[in-house]
Chain A
Amino acid sequence: MFRIYTVIGLVSVAAMGLATQPAFAQTPNETLASFKTAAAGDAKFQGFSATRGEQFFKAKHGKEWSCASCHTDNPAAPGKHANSGKDIQPLAPSANAERFTDMAKVEKWFKRNCNDVLGRVCTAQEKGDVLSYLLTVKK
Chain B
Amino acid sequence: MSQRILVWDVPTRVFHWLFAISFAASWYISEADEWLSFHTFFGYLMLGLIGFRLIWGVVGGHYARFAEFMCSPLAGWRYLRQALSGAGARYIGHNPAGSQAVLLLLVLGLAVCLTGMFTQGAEEQQGAVSGWFGVKTGVMFREAHGYIAILMLVMVIGHLLGVAMESRLHKENLARAMVTGIKEAPQGSAVSKPFRGVGALLLMMAIAFGIWWFFYAWHEPVEQRLGHDDAKLEGPHVAFVGPKLSDNAQWREECGSCHLAFHPSLLPARSWQKLMAQQDRHFGTDLALDADVSAALLEFLVKNAAENSKREAAFKINRSIKPDVTPLRITETPYWVGKHREIADSVWRSAKVKSKANCAACHLDADAGTFEDAAMQLPR
Q: What residue of chain B has the Cβ atom nearest to residue A113's Cβ?
A: B285
User: B258, A81: Cβ atoms under 8 Å?
Assistant: yes
Q: Which chain A residues in 65-123 approach chain B with CB under 8 Å?
A: 78, 80-81, 83-89, 108, 111-112, 115-116
- Among B225, B258, B286, B357, point to the contact of A115 (Cβ < 8 A): B286
A-B contact pairs, 7 of them (CB 8 A): A80-B227, A83-B259, A83-B284, A85-B358, A87-B225, A112-B288, A115-B285
Query: Is A111 within 8 A of B358, CB to CB?
Result: no
Interface residues of B (CB under 8 A from A): 225-227, 257-260, 283-288, 352-355, 357-358, 360-361
List chain B residues, Cβ under 8 A from A112. Answer: 285-288
Report how far A83 CA is from B258 CA in the complex, Å. Answer: 9
Supposing A112-B286, A116-B284 touch, asked if A84 and B227 sit within 8 A by C-beta, the answer is no
CB distance from B332 to the nearest CB of A (A): 15
The one of B226, B288, B352, B355 that contacts A84, using a Cβ cutoff of 8 Å? B355
CA distance A131 to B259 in the complex (A): 24
Instruction: A112 to B283: give the CA distance in the assembly, Å.
Output: 12
Question: B377 CB to closest chain A CB, in angstroms?
Answer: 16
Q: Chain B's nearest CB lies how many Å from the CB of A80? A: 8
Instruction: Tally A residues with Cβ within 8 Å of B.
Output: 15
Chain A contact residues, CB within 8 Å of chain B: 78, 80-81, 83-89, 108, 111-112, 115-116
- Of A81, A88, A115, chain B has the most CB atoms within 10 Å of the CB of A81
* A-B pairs, 8 with minimum CB distance: A85-B354, A84-B259, A85-B358, A87-B226, A87-B227, A86-B259, A85-B355, A84-B355
Contact in complex: A81, B259 (CB < 8 Å):
yes
- Are A84's CB and B358's CB within 8 A? yes
A116 to B288, CA, bound (A): 13
A42 to chain B, nearest CB (A): 24
What residue of chain B has the Cβ atom nearest to residue A112's Cβ? Answer: B285
Of the listed residues A80, A85, A89, A111, the one surrounded by the most CB atoms of chain B closer than 10 A to its CB is: A85
Shortest CB-to-CB span from A30 to chain B, Å, is: 22
